[in-house]
Amino acid sequence: SRQFKLCKTLKENDLPMRSVKFSVDGDKIVSSTENGTIRIWDVASGKALQTFKHDASIFMAEFSPDGRMVVSCVKGNNIVLWDVESGKEVMKLEGHLDPVCNANFSPDGKYITSCSFDGTIRIWDVDSRNEIQLLAGHLASVYSAQFSPDGQMIVSASEDHIIVIWDAKSGQILKQLRGHLGPVTRAKFSPDGQSIVSCSKDKTVRLWNIELGTCMRILGGHCNSVRDVKYFPDGQTVVSCSNDRTIRLWNVKSGEEIQRLEHSDQVTNIDVSPNGQIIVSCSRDCKIKIWKI
């Protein structure tokens, strides 16, 4: 079976790392730190290409599908979009009443979904900069909100232990997935849009069948809160990262742990390249690690 090996370590000036995400073409990574630095890196060379500075702590940053913009969530209840080439702030989306935990572009790049400690999920039209939908139904902070691969649904994960699947157009709740015994930190769709993978402070990763609304498998092994999780592009493998300092790869069919990778502190975020050949991880140890097959 294919094993990942450490290929490069990128150091971020002794700043604990919050997030790392690949561009759609897999050539670049965008990272964010607790002190408000967003950096774009070239994957092949490991060189920093661009730096954006914000005056508040940043929860996450990700590229737009066309790679021209970066969306970031900042402590000051705002969502900020940056022009990648110029490094300038191009727009600010305001409306959340508390810090924004996560923001995600729709696959066509026309919309952004965001979620917040205020318990809501909002959908924004990028061109008009207007909020077009408010999704309310969670009973506590919402940590994660992601579009489905076809852009028709949104999955959200909350401190209330519940995962909700929403109709992105109507804002209606389609399903509620219950089973986690602690706050759900992330929930993401499988590449085919049929399943969801979630992770929680209950130390588990769970796989769900959307149509049936049932948990298909519990992946146990982490010994602390699981921070982030993602399907590989082929849908056969899931990768998770945890406060236990490990990154784990799991076989979706068998539920078995395939491989374990490590940082020297809590692993806060992970991503998988579009071709499935590279994993990027970041940690409170101030390092970004690039792992390759």
Q: Give residue-wise pLDDT tens across range 33-42.
A: 988 899 999 9
Q: What is the pTM of this model?
A: 0.96
> Of all helices (H) and strands (E), which one includes residue 63?
strand 58-63
pLDDT at 55: 80
Model pLDDT for residues 171-194, shown as the tens digit of each residue: 999 999 999 999 999 999 999 999
User: How far is the C-alpha of 89 from the C-alpha of 67, rounded, in Å?
Assistant: 15
**Residue 245, φ and ψ in degrees, nearest 5:** 80, 5
Among 6, 2, 88, which Cα is nearest to 279's?
A: 6
CB of 75 closer than 8 Å to CB of 33: no
Structure confidence by residue, pLDDT tens digits, 80-130: 999 999 999 999 999 999 999 999 999 999 999 999 999 999 999 999 999
**Domains of the chain from N-terminus onward:** 5-292 (2.130.10.10)
Residue from 284, 218, 293, 225 nearest 259 by CA: 293
